[in-house]
Chains A and B, each alone.
Chain A
Amino acid sequence: MKRSDFALFACLIICAVAVVHTQHSARRVFVDLEREKTRGDELAADLRRLQAERATLAASNRVEHVAYDMKMHLPDTHSIIVMGNQSQDLAQLSNATKTVAIAGEIPVRSEAILPEPQSFQGGVNASKTKQPLHLAKRVKQ
């Protein structure tokens, strides 16, 4: 046999081993990829759950209940100053102990008719029916 034949044969063997090796590592990397994809899906699902939870916790009726319990309320219309950028408005503000209301707030009702807010079921199957409209508790206070 010629020398070059040996060299070619060696090349062939090396190539064959390399193919097997690459195939194997490709599969391993693919498995990793799948695992990361699954993890990504799980994180996306978590994000959704958290978004739902945040939306439930930030629902206006819950915010109002919390505000009510903390004895917060919107200043009545008599003590609200609508401000322009005129100096007289500012002067009026400075000599009065009036509250500045910020647009975007939910005005908390001063009377006591409030439906009970729903609690977030944290992904737990919502099979319990919600309590009926609750009025008595608030009126008692």
Chain B
Amino acid sequence: MNYKGNASLNLRLEGWRASFVLILLLAAFMVLVGRAVFLQGLHADFLQHKGEERYSRVIEQTAYRGEVLDRNGDPLAISLPAVSVWASRDDADMNPGQLQQLSTLLEMPKEEINHRVNEGRGNFVYLKRQLSQEVAQKVSEIHIPGLFEQKGFRRSYPKGEMMAHLLGFTDVEDRGQEGAEVTFQKELGGLNGARRVIKDRAGSVIEDVENIREPRPGHDVVLSVDSRVQYLAWRELHAAITRNKAKAGAVMVLDPRTGEVLALANYPDYNPNARERVTLTQLRNRAVADTYEPGSTLKPFTIAAALEAHKVTPATIIQTGNGTMNIGPAVVHDTHPGGALTVSQVIQRSSNVGAARIALSLPPETMWNLFTDVGFGQTPKMGMPGEAGGRVRPYRSWRPIEQATMSYGHGISVSLAQLARSYTIFANEGNVMPLTLLKQDGPVSGRRVISSQTASAVKDMLELVVKPEGTAPLAQVRGFRVAGKTGTAHKLDHGRYSNRYVASFVGFAPASNPRLLIAVMIDEPSTGDYYGGLVAAPVFSGLMAGALHILGIQPDDPASENYASPTSVNSAAEET
């Protein structure tokens, strides 16, 4: 084709048009460059942030709660991973078959699931918390839309009932609610961490952006408790409660050299792993939170006060006459009339009249001082929740009859923990030891309350109690010298003493070098026997024998024919 003939091709364009297009193109280019500078330079941070929001996520890093261990490293409370299942009310949709499966897995009636999902305000509802991973896995396999999982922890208590009151438990939020779990919440509690990460389409983390907060797992806590001794305490207490058809009871085992609590058991108890139907009665940590009138277990303190004041010696004769004593209109009774008794025999036979006579020879202040010094009327400060301080009235208001009854443990209230602690003065050369739930590594210093001579004199008297003439021959432990004191107290019922009793026994062994101090309290034994020597002393004996054996403590009284002389220090019995 010949184009030369085409006139339009011969048009000569004016020069400015080409320049105009060029400028237009340059201007457009400049706009683009400017925009690029604006986006990538000036506005970059904002955009980067917006961009990251699209694919970066803050993920929470869960921190474990610390473990609770016994003094030998045996785990007592461990956090295990658990899963909570929650539903979005707007999205949850399940058919009857799925509902049935879910109800079986969650062990929840179908009505309740329906109720939770369909009633109530808000979109978010927990169906069940703290499921094990196995169950959660099965739940997710049903593939119910609108059902989600949330990771968390569940506290497991391998020792179950036997440690229930000592350890307590945590709530679903992993906070301590009772027992050592509350006491050591600060140490045990972990702090969840958080970090910002970038996730890819598949949802897996591909890059760390920043660490917002390091997760801080809780610290482990090593308790002073020996789980083997604890088991024995719990078992012997259970046996005694069953044998005596008692209402309640408590046992406490201490190391009198350090004030460490080796065992603490209560009845009734509960299983901390299954607390759905636990009543307040079961939760009650009686050894620590309940006070009672201790009865004759207080007599050694009266005697100690009198010995310290040099009013009597262990051999001083006290006239108890026919076993009654009039103080104003009131009468103090003895169970068995004793006639003339030495101070030692007053303890051995637990004579109320004898104790009252000795008490009345003392100024009230002297007795009050000793009671206060050994910790009566003040909380023992172990850190357990709900510790009771008991009640000791100020000595200025004591009338003679009150001073007399207080000498044998009425008109004063103490908790078992306080009573156990107070007896450390006899077991530890006159020093009262602070109670502790934590394992102590070094020696612990106590506070001197009475002289070591007085302590030793009272200890000798307490050894007489378990002799055949004493009130508690059932507290004997073969191979060991045992010292202790029985107590039998009437319970107060609307301000009057009733025919219901609290039987108790506090004692320690080996008397030559006390290693274990045990306090036993049995509330309302109902099979006829109610004396401390018959009801509580056997618990002491069984527990003491077992615990001495477990701890490998050398017998100090191998007189019985079956014991070879343990003269050598290197015994086959291993010290633990």
Interface residues of A (CB under 8 A from B): 27, 30-31, 34, 45, 48-49, 51-53, 55-56, 58-61, 64, 74, 77-86, 88-89, 92, 100-107, 109, 111, 113-115, 117-118, 120-130, 133, 135
Contact = CB atoms under 8 A, between A and B. Distances in A.
B573 A118 contact: no
B242 interface: yes
Query: Which 8 residue pairs across A and B have the least CB separation, nearest first?
Result: A103-B552, A84-B568, A55-B158, A60-B231, A83-B572, A126-B273, A123-B132, A118-B160
Nearest to A133: B238
Contact of A60 (B130, B228, B576): B228
B551 A103 contact: yes
B161 A92 contact: no
Nearest to A63: B231
Contact of B276 (A34, A74, A127): A127
A135 B204 contact: no
A51 B206 contact: no
Contacts of A124: 132, 134-135
Contacts of A53: 158
Contacts of B555: 82
- Identify whether the interface residues of A are mostly helix, strand, loop, or mixed: loop
Contacts of A122: 132, 134
A120 B549 CA distance: 28
Contacts of A88: 564-565
A117 B551 CA distance: 23
Contacts of B273: 118, 121, 126, 130
A74 B207 CA distance: 62
Contacts of A130: 160-161, 271, 273-274
A60 B78 CA distance: 18
Given A30-B206, A85-B568, A127 B274 contact: yes
B145 interface: no
Contacts of B563: 80-82
B205 A118 contact: no
A104 B574 contact: yes
Interface in B446-501: 478-479
Contacts of B574: 102-104
Given A86-B567, A100-B572, A127-B274, A113 B550 contact: no
Interface string B297-327: 0000000000000000000000000000000
Given A34-B205, A104-B552, A85 B570 contact: yes
A84 B552 contact: no
B80 interface: yes
Given A45-B81, A61-B162, A82-B479, 16 more contacts: A48-B79, A49-B80, A52-B80, A56-B159, A59-B162, A61-B160, A81-B564, A82-B555, A83-B572, A84-B567, A89-B565, A113-B242, A118-B271, A122-B132, A127-B107, A133-B242
Contact of A59 (B204, B231, B232, B570): B231
A30 B200 CA distance: 12
A112 B228 CA distance: 19
B235 A31 contact: no
A9 to B, nearest CB: 23
Interface of B: 64, 74-76, 78-82, 107, 128, 130-135, 154, 156, 158-162, 204-208, 227-228, 231-232, 235, 238-239, 242-243, 271, 273-274, 276-277, 478-479, 545-546, 549-552, 554-555, 558, 560, 562-568, 570-576
Given A61-B231, A115-B235, A77 B562 contact: yes
A111 B236 CA distance: 11
Contacts of B274: 126-130
A82 B80 contact: no
A55 B576 contact: no
Nearest to A86: B568
B546 A106 contact: yes
Contacts of B571: 82-84
22 contacts: A34-B205, A49-B80, A55-B78, A56-B159, A58-B74, A61-B231, A64-B231, A64-B235, A80-B562, A81-B563, A83-B572, A88-B565, A103-B552, A103-B575, A106-B546, A118-B160, A123-B156, A124-B134, A125-B130, A129-B271, A130-B271, A130-B273
A124 B132 CA distance: 5
Contacts of B132: 121-125
A112 to B, nearest CB: 10
Nearest to B558: A82
B554 A52 contact: no
Contact of A61 (B76, B235, B575): B235
B550 A103 contact: yes
B16 to A, nearest CB: 35
B564 A89 contact: yes
Contacts of A61: 160, 162, 231, 235
